[in-house]
Amino acid sequence: MGKRIILAITGASGAIYGRRTLQALCAEGAEVWLSISANALHVIREELGIELDLEKPDLKKFAGVKKVHYIPFADMLAPPASGGFVTAGMIIAPCSMSTLGAIASGHGTNLIHRAADVTLKERRPLVLVARETPLSAIHLENMLRLSRAGAIILPACPAFYHGPRSIDELADFVVSRALDAVGISNSLVRRWGGEKTS
């Protein structure tokens, strides 16, 4: 088994980022611990046309993956709630502004908030794929506060130099950067000055 990564999908637009991150982590052999917020289910239904159960989602239907540890976001006793549960980091993709604000304030009300708080306090990589536009001063101040605390703010802003030909390839640019940030090597997109290797 590869590196242990916590992945959370929250209720911002951009459910494709969560799905593609899950697929990429599994393809690279990571041990994925996944949590999906209640609001994310609504976005997944609207954007991807997939109905999921919050307690036992069909991850094969969602992303074509099987070997994933799924934890309901209300389960505050799950392993990722403890600093003793050692991981290589956490990715929240997409990360809603309400989730980002809760983490920035230290006011965690669910497992996603708590796991992010633990990731920060243990000085592990926390990658927030922020998805909102335009950004208010409150959003920017929360991002700055989290960046100073050690989080990696990775806005869902795809580039175009790699010649994307599909929405998935646009999303993969952001996903590739998120995986880079937690130390998962990948060849999802052509690097600047180089060729895509897969």
* Contact yes or no for 13/47 (Cβ under 8 A): yes
Question: What pLDDT sits at residue 197?
Answer: 47
- DSSP lists the bridge partners of residue 126 as 90
* pTM of the predicted model as reported, rounded to 2 decimal places: 0.95
> Tens digit of pLDDT per residue, the chain (198 long)?
689 999 999 999 999 999 999 999 999 999 999 999 999 999 999 999 999 999 999 999 999 998 999 999 999 999 999 999 999 999 999 999 999 999 999 988 999 999 999 999 999 999 999 999 999 999 999 999 999 999 999 999 999 988 899 999 999 999 999 999 999 989 888 777 765 544
Regarding beta strands 4-9 and 152-153, do their DSSP bridges make them parallel or antiparallel, or are they unpaired?
A: unpaired
* Contact yes or no for 121/83 (Cβ under 8 A): yes
Question: What pLDDT sits at residue 194?
Answer: 64
Q: In what order do the strands lie in the sheet with 126-130?
A: 69-70, 31-36, 4-9, 89-95, 126-130, 152-153
* Contact yes or no for 180/186 (Cβ under 8 A): yes
CA atoms of 38 and 164, how far apart (whole Å): 31
DSSP states of 58-91 as a string? -HHHHHS----EE--TT-TTSGGGSTTS--SEEE
Which residue type does 119 have? T
Cis peptide before 134 (omega within 30 of 0): yes
Closest to 104 in 3D by CA, of 146, 70, 141, 75: 146
Domains of the chain plus CATH, in order, are 4-181 (3.40.50.1950)
* Contact yes or no for 144/151 (Cβ under 8 A): no
Question: What pLDDT sits at residue 1?
Answer: 65
CA atoms of 33 and 51, how far apart (whole Å): 20
Question: What pLDDT sits at residue 151?
Answer: 98
Would you state the structure tokens that stand for residue 117, as one six-digit string?
Answer: 């708080």
Would you state the structure tokens that stand for residue 10, as one six-digit string?
Answer: 């929250």
* DSSP for residue 181: H
Question: What pLDDT sits at residue 161?
Answer: 86
Q: Tokens 């609001």 map to which residue?
A: 39
